[in-house]
Amino acid sequence: MRTAHKNDPCLYDLVVVGASFAGLVAARAAAHRGLRVAVMDAKREPGARVRTTGILVKEAVEECDIPASLTRKIPGVRLYAPNHVYTDLFAPGYYFLATDTPAIMRWLAREAQRAGADLLFGTRFEDATLADDMVRIHGADLKARYLLGADGAKSRVAQVFNLGRNTEFLIGMETEYEESPTVDPDFLHCFVDTDLAPGYLGWVVPGVGLTQAGLAVSHGPFGARRKPNFEAFMRRIDHRFALWNCEVKAKRSGPIPCGGLVSPLSTRRVLLTGDAAGLVSPLTAGGIRLAFQFGRRAGAAISEYLQDGGADPGVLMAREYPGFGLKTWMRRAWSAAPPNALLNATLFTPPMRALAQWIYFQKRGGGVTSATHDRIAKTPAT
């Protein structure tokens, strides 16, 4: 049974801003629990203007059963040093998934809709006020008993309600090419190079019916601006893959929060989740699994609050959302961009390989280091 006023079509129990990973999963969870839910998104349709590489860690699928037909399993990571020496990392039973991200967005949207949520694409959230425990969303002519901001790294909901905002970002840039047989499909190809990708990595991904190549950079010490130089990155790596022969299908770029959770996360009747809340691993820059996990939890907590007098969702989520303490500091250290010469000398020493294994596979798989099948090889002449 829906709990919002049946005679007022503008009144919802929950309005979610952002129809992406976090928002759609939250909407589905809340609608399944009987709330009247609307999801607003500025995009004109699900799957439009995707801004992510869309790689899922295995745990993301455990949070949200994604249809296998929209994914491609990738068992290992091939990690390249600046001098092109590489090592292969695996953990038994573990894999990553490349995804057809626009198709996953459409699938998530259908799932939320089937659960009963109204999807309002082409509707931008601009402003709102809270009065008498009702959030009035101006411009869209909507009212909500609760508002969930799942509107990404530069959340307008956070801004309007004076909530915490992301201040540290990686800037990611990616090009999608037609599928290339030159890219070994068993690996995420990850390039360490602190000249070209200071603070993060470059990557080449054997995607679903295509190949993705990109890089991300962090700001430098004292917030100095850095911009990804995609052309220089491709000049450095493309002798290996010859993607210059492949048709470009799409280009994208965007900010990735990497400074940990924002604070405050909530105010009365308003909560942030996903990127808006800073729910991105500062080390891997992965946010999709956390968006699935905590988007769903946020939807469930809001339902319990509105239907059963449950705990305040903001208080509950502040307890449940992960703090990234050590990882945030490791990220800041990496942003200082140690010189490539030092990385060439140390990247594949046992402690550094163990660190790389931990970053990619963490507690997953069996005995972590002993389960690794490392291989160091010179770049094949191409």
Residue nearest ligand FAD (C-beta atom): 287
Q: Which of residues 111-140 bind ligand FAD (CB under 6 A)?
A: 124-125
Q: Given the structure tokens 């092109």, which residue do they identify?
A: 84
Contacting range for ligand FAD; rule: CB under 6 A; set: 41-49, 62-70, 81-89, 128-136: 41-49
Least distance to ligand FAD, CB of residue 7, Å: 27
Q: Binder to ligand FAD among 199, 260, 286, 299 (CB under 6 A)?
A: 286
In angstroms, the CA 278 to CA 284 distance is 13
Residue 314 in contact with ligand FAD, rule: CB under 6 A: no
Whether 139 and 122 have beta carbons less than 8 Å apart is answered as no
Contacting range for ligand FAD; rule: CB under 6 A; set: 39-47, 110-118, 188-196, 367-375: 39-47
How many helices and strands in the chain, by DSSP H and E? 10, 18
Amino acid, res. 225: R
Least distance to ligand FAD, CB of residue 293, Å: 11
Q: Binder to ligand FAD among 43, 58, 84, 106 (CB under 6 A)?
A: 43
Residue 202 in contact with ligand FAD, rule: CB under 6 A: no
Whether 91 and 365 have beta carbons less than 8 Å apart is answered as yes
Residue closest to 54 by CA, chosen among 68, 67, 70, 65: 70
Sign of the alpha-carbon torsion through 361, 366, 368, 373 = negative
* Residue placing its CB nearer to ligand FAD in the complex, 83 or 267: 267
Q: Binder to ligand FAD among 3, 10, 47, 51 (CB under 6 A)?
A: 51
Tokens of 175: 């090009």
Least distance to ligand FAD, CB of residue 344, Å: 26
Tokens of 94: 């573990």
**End-to-end CA distance of the chain, in Å?**
64
* Residue placing its CB nearer to ligand FAD in the complex, 81 or 272: 272
Q: Which helix (H) or strand (E) holds 187?
A: strand 187-191
Residue closest to 64 by CA, chosen among 34, 119, 27: 27
Residue 21 in contact with ligand FAD, rule: CB under 6 A: yes
Contacts to ligand FAD by CB under 6 A: 17-23, 40-43, 51-55, 124-125, 150-152, 156, 172, 174, 254, 256, 274-275, 280, 286-288, 291
